[in-house]
Structure 1
Amino acid sequence: MALPTFLHQANKAKQTEAKLFVGSMNRAQQAYFVEKSSFTISIDELGIGINQQTNNYEYVSNVDPSGTIVTNNGRSLTGTLKSYVGVTYLNLVTIAGTQETLTITILCESPAIGIGTLQTQTSTICPTDWILLPI
């Protein structure tokens, strides 16, 4: 009984890496947009010091054709972990009669464990059947 519990806790710790890294990618995309008025697919350009691949995850960013949504992937490379996706997108709002651009982020968890697939969002919601996580 103790071994399955230990393995479950070990996998949760590994998944925490992906949640933290994808969350960092989301925040870095927001900062990058403020500075450059665009999103980037380069993990290195985000300046957050994470590797594009670890033992358990591959980290990849994709920008949609409109340039208004970036998908930050933490794709599981093993059959025992969930994948994670961060979506950073632009939202136009009017404040005191002036139109402003806000960057909004969400974090999503795959519904199942296993080797993940890269996601590219063209909308501001989680991929189908994925779980929206609190940030």
Structure 2
Amino acid sequence: MIYFNVPVKSLFVASSVLIAIGSTLAISVSTQATIPTIIAQTKPAPQTDAAKQQLLGQWQTKDPESGDLVTFIFAPEGKLFILFPAPEGAPESPPVALGIKYQINSTAKPGQIDLVFTEEESIKSIFEFTDKNQLRVELEGRKAGQSRPTAFSSEATVFEKVSQTTTLPANTQVIDLETEKKNAADNQLPRPQSEAKLYIGMMNKAQQVYYREQGKFATEFEETGLGTEPGSAYYTYRLASPGNEKESVMITAQAKDSKLPSYTGVVFVTKSNGKATTIATICETIKPSTSPPAMPTAPSSGSSEIKCPDGSRPIQ
């Protein structure tokens, strides 16, 4: 697991493509121990100059469910930036991009591509350039540690090239996963806490997506598209809709070890320019506790601040 020290509502965007990628890092807690062994066997894939040159630039695909445009910017030296759409209700927000690495082997048929999040976590997939100058990549449902697919499915993601530029928009906030992981290690952030924060962040965003599509929040883990209730050696996760499932939803991470803090994630429905939108946060107990924070306080009229209850603090 990797801890992102950025606002959850900005990072986890309303896109099934990005949720699928994010799920690679947030879910499958029970399989983490096997991932390093699999990734350790991966050797850098050779890259041909022609394929590298064709790949460079900005590629976009439209999420079929949300309609959001997802932008992949393939830059020189094997750098890939996934540019997130602006959060709903905040189009003026600075752009946010996830910075990772990529490797290709265009001599294989179909071509091979690795999306490298960290040294321990990457997605092995396949790609091809179509006759219409499109890029097709097998992304849907891919997870770190899975073997590489041998053929494209009907769910393969198709990108259109929109620009040759490999630079990011001005003022873009870049989240580099290797840097975030190193910072967490330097600060001696325990791995269990990283797990809880990331999973709750993903669940908050999945609930925002669900609300936009359904007009209410999901009451079961399966409804969010992030799988069943997660199993963890460190935390017990619970999903609840206090009061009204059309107004708020809460997920808690209750520590099983008294030396760890507990967490509560919450999503509220608010009004922005007369339009219903959602806002999320995560509260962490200030001291180690096996009791998650109580329900946070919803933002007051005209405010975007969610107040964590006494004994806890916001972590974003």
Does the TM-score normalized on the shorter chain lie above 0.5?
yes
TM norm structure 1? 0.79
Largest Rg, 1 or 2: 2
| 1:1-135 correspondence runs (5 A) | 9=188, 12-49=190-227, 51-67=229-245, 68-94=247-273, 99-117=274-292, 119-121=294-296, 123=298, 124-134=306-316
Task: Tell me which amino acid in the other structure corresponds to 1:71.
Answer: M
Structure 2 gaps of 5+ residues are 1-186, 299-305
Q: SS state of the match for residue 75, structure 1?
A: strand
Moved more, 45-54 or 107-116: 45-54
Q: Could you list the structure 1 runs, at least 4 aligned residues long, displaced by more than 4 angstroms after superposition.
A: none
Count matched residues. Answer: 123
**Contact 2:283–2:312 (8 Å) recurs in 1:** yes
TM norm structure 2? 0.36
1:25-69 per-residue CA deviation (whole Å, 9 max, x = no partner) reads 100110110111101221121111364331111111211213311
State the match for 2:142 in structure 1. Answer: none
Sequence identity (%): 27
Give how far 1:120 is off: 3.7
Rounded Cα–Cα distance in structure 1 between residues aligned with 2:200 and 2:255: 12
Q: SS state of the match for residue 198, structure 2?
A: helix
**Contact 2:285–2:292 (8 Å) recurs in 1:** no
Q: Which has the higher contact order (CA 8 A, sep 6+)?
A: 1
Rounded Cα–Cα distance in structure 2 between residues aligned with 1:47 and 1:64: 21
Give the aligned CA root-mean-square deviation in angstroms: 2.2
Rounded Cα–Cα distance in structure 1 between residues aligned with 2:203 and 2:253: 10
Rounded Cα–Cα distance in structure 2 between residues aligned with 1:106 and 1:117: 14
1:91-129 per-residue CA deviation (whole Å, 9 max, x = no partner) reads 1121xxxx2111100111111113224734463421222
Rounded Cα–Cα distance in structure 2 between residues aligned with 1:117 and 1:110: 7
